[in-house]
Amino acid sequence: MAQKNVISLDKIKVACRDCSLSTLCLPMGLRPDDVDRLDAIVKRNRPLQRGDHLFRAGEAFRNLYVVKTGAVKTFTQTNEGDEQVVGFHLPGEVLGLDAIQDGQHGCSARALETTAICELPFDRLEDLSSNIPSLQHQMFRLLSKEISHEAEMMALLGRSTAEERVASFLISLSERFKRRGFSATDFFLSMSRQEIGSYLDLALETVSRLFTRFQDEGILKVERKHVQILDLERLNGMVVHPTNVERHHANPST
C-alpha cells in the first residue's frame, strides 16, 4: 500500500523530458538542454482530489499551472452567487494566463477529479524566457493560442443554437482526448450537466434534452457520464465551420 503510493508519486514527478505531454506543453519545440532548464523551475506537488481548489479568484498570481493528469474547471461567481464555468482543462493545458496582466487570478480553479499539476513560478519563467529565445517564442504562442481559443469560443456562444453548442462541446472534447492518446469516441465526462450548461450558456435541462435527442437520433450513446460518439460525421455537420478555411491546414497543436 505504502509501496504503491511511492510508485504513483514517482510517476507523477516525472521530469519534462520524460513526460508524455511534452509535445502539447510548454517544452514543445525546445532543445533538450533547454527543456532541462525549464524542468528545473517546475514544482510538482501532491495530486489534488476532486473538489480541491488550485487557486481562487482574487488570489495573488505567482504561478502558471499545467494539468498533468485529470481535469480542472475554471469558474467565476456571478453576482447572483452562482458559479459560471469559464473552461475545462485537460492534461497539457495551461492555467492562469489571464492573471499575468494584473497580478491576481480573475477566476477560481478546482479539480473535477484526481488531478496532478505542474507549477511554474512565473517570475522564473520570465527570466528563463529572456535567456531562451525559443521559450519566449513558445510563451508568445501559448498566450496567442489562448486568445484565439477564446475568440472561437465567443464566436460559438455568439452565433449558435443550443444544438450547435453541445455538438461543438462534444467535438472539442473528442479532439482533445484523441490528441492525448485517449479514445475520441468513447469517454467519460468529468463534469455535470449543470457545469456543461454553465460553460455553454445553456440551462442544464437543455443540455440533458440535447444529449437525449442526439441519442435518439443515433449520434450518441449517453449513459450519465459515459459518452460514446456513434456518428462523428453528423456531429461535425451540425457545427458552423469557420469560413476562413485556410486556418485549418495551418497549425496542428492543442
Partner DNA sequence: TCAGCCTTTTGACCTGAATCAAAGTAGGGA
Partner DNA sequence: TCCCTACTTTGATTCAGGTCAAAAGGCTGA
Beta carbons within 8 Å of 169's beta carbon, 6+ residues apart: 196, 199, 200
- The least CB distance from residue 96 to DNA, in Å, is 26
Examine residue 193 and tell whether it contacts DNA (CB under 7 A): yes
Examine residue 71 and tell whether it contacts DNA (CB under 7 A): no
- The least CB distance from residue 251 to its own copies, in Å, is 4
The C-alpha cell at 121 is 513560478
Q: Is 57 left (phi over 0), alpha (psi -120 to 50) or beta?
A: beta
Q: Which of 104, 114, 136, 192 binds DNA (CB under 7 A)?
A: 192
CB 28 within 8 A of CB 19: no
Looking at the Cβ atoms of 18 and 216, the one nearer to DNA is 216
Q: β-pairing, 94-95 with 63-69? A: antiparallel
The C-alpha cell at 63 is 504561478
Binding mask 216-245 for DNA (x = CB under 7 A): ------x-xx--------------------
Q: Is 120 left (phi over 0), alpha (psi -120 to 50) or beta?
A: beta
Closest CA to 168 of 238, 71, 90, 225: 238
Examine residue 152 and tell whether it contacts DNA (CB under 7 A): no
Binding mask 154-183 for DNA (x = CB under 7 A): -------xxx--------------------
- The least CB distance from residue 7 to its own copies, in Å, is 38
Examine residue 144 and tell whether it contacts its own copies (CB under 8 A): yes
Helices 133-158 and 162-179 sit at what angle, rounded to 10 degrees? 150
The residues binding its own copies (CB under 8 A) are: 57-58, 76-79, 81, 84, 86, 97-104, 106-107, 126, 129-130, 133, 136-137, 139-141, 143-148, 150-151, 153-155, 157-159, 201, 240-244, 246-247, 250-251
